Amino acid sequence: MLEWVAIESDSSNVLKRPDLHRMMETTAQKLRLMGGTVELVDIGEQELPNGQTLALPKVVTATFGTDPNKHTVCVYGHVDVQPAKLEDGWATDPYNLTDINGNLYGRGASDNKAPVLAWIHAVEAYQALSMELPVNVKFVIEGMEETGSNGLDAMILAQRDTFFSDVDYIIISDCGWLSRRPALTYGTRGNCYFFAEVEGPKQDLHSGVYGGTVIEPMTDLIGILDTLISPSGKILIPGIREAVAPLSDEEWKMYQDIQFDMDSYKNKIGVTQLMYSNKVDLLAHMWRYPTVSVHGIEGAFSDSGSKTVIPAKVTAKFSIRQVPNMDPAMVKKQVTDYLHSVFAKRKSPNKLKVTMVIGAKPWLADTQHPLYEAGKAAVKRVFDMDPDLIREGGTIPIARTFQDVTGKSIIMMPIGGFDDGLHSQNEKMSRYNYIEGTKLFIAYLNEVSQIKKTSV
């Protein structure tokens, strides 16, 4: 894990693309040395906002066993990471895995390098004990998850009748538990990520010399960003809320029954008040309602200190979490039309450009499926308790694609802790979750092998 975390496989930073390529090669090499049939699949290029193109990281596929009498599971994971810099407030170098009191700190530790490695170790465990794998195991490991799995959809579609043809089940371990209790995840939110660029003067201007004479792009940008969401969390973009599937009584009851401590959640985040004060509303807005987050603004003055500048071109980054029955293509149109309409009311001479750079759909599974029953049994065996059945507020963009393209059943089986700090400073994976998680995967392969062939 030390070696994997040390590779700065940040898929959002084009300057780190060589590291990302190296990460894919390292992953492939590991699987090759284990005797798998490994391929590095070329998925083409990505187009950058400036019109240039850049090679996408290859997708690693691997196969262990081809026995037609066994079930075949396909484990999906990713080895790219979110950006991380020591200056962001990390206690340790984010790319130097550091063990502090049984927690392994490093960017990508929990999201998603350790879970991928835990699956690899599960296969190695069978190999080390000279035991036959109870099911055939395939891997699909990608390197663009953090920026929307660019290129993967097409690759899955292209290999639907080859690599994926004999796959029965797809397993994803790219999420976390809700509490200290193990969990199975049956839904995720999608994500539409937008750039809203306002361009005015041809270069930055001195705010003393020019202030008052020009219509400032920052003022315009702040004005339109302020129309996205109300202080109480109501999304103001027309059509978004109307598309959301209503909360059913069953769902309400299910949420009501989930063990969830609002106070420890508040403490973990470090806030005195949440957006909703009751458990059901909170869980619902975490998992099955959309929200808008403004991540930041590129092109303005963002360093410490003071600078008296009128930034000439500023680009806001914001995203809207997707839930059933929202459609990213429709959301793109709703957001673009809305922002242009509120911008037009300002009568500004500046130019607004709205781009959707990620459009990932939500995903939802049936918790009564044998795949989930097998999951419950494996959790019982390793942890001696029943798992929480939860949804995930974050996005695993590929879950929905797997479902739509291959028609196979999917299970999400997390091993990450509830406090792993994904995408934040001081991301970590505990030794406990890493080791017990590996045991869970070993047990799960065995449980899946018990599923009757007819119930597929």
- For a copy of itself, the closer of residues 352 and 442 by Cβ is 352
3-class DSSP state for residue 6?
coil
- For a copy of itself, the closer of residues 158 and 225 by Cβ is 225
What CA–CA distance (Å, rounded) separates 389 from 306? 49
Q: Which of 145, 168, 420, 447 is catalytic?
A: 145
Task: Kindly tell me the sign of the dihedral angle through the C-alpha atoms of 419, 420, 422, 423.
Answer: positive
**Nearest distance, CB of residue 174 and a copy of itself, angstroms:** 11
CA distances from 88 to 5, 91, 165 (A): 17, 9, 44
- For a copy of itself, the closer of residues 36 and 151 by Cβ is 151
The angle formed by the CA atoms of residues 189, 289 and 221, to the nearest 5 degrees, is 90
Helix then strand then coil, % of the chain, to nearest 5: 35, 25, 40
What CA–CA distance (Å, rounded) separates 62 from 140? 7
One-character DSSP codes across 243-288 = GSPPPPHHHHHHHHHS---HHHHHHHHT-S--S-SSHHHHHHHHHT
- For a copy of itself, the closer of residues 208 and 246 by Cβ is 208
- For a copy of itself, the closer of residues 35 and 211 by Cβ is 211
CA distances from 145 to 20, 79, 215, 339, 392 (A): 12, 8, 38, 27, 16
**Nearest distance, CB of residue 232 and a copy of itself, angstroms:** 8
The 8-class DSSP code of residue 112 comes to I
Decide if 80 is catalytic: yes
CA-closest candidate to residue 37, choices 62, 67, 74: 62
- For a copy of itself, the closer of residues 41 and 215 by Cβ is 215
- For a copy of itself, the closer of residues 47 and 132 by Cβ is 47
Q: What is the 3-state secondary structure (H, E, C) of 63-103?
A: EECCCCCCCEEEEEEECCECCCCHHHCCCCCCCCCEEECCE
What CA–CA distance (Å, rounded) separates 28 from 213? 58
Q: Which of 8, 10, 19, 80 is catalytic?
A: 80
**Nearest distance, CB of residue 386 and a copy of itself, angstroms:** 23
| Active-site amino acid positions | 80, 145
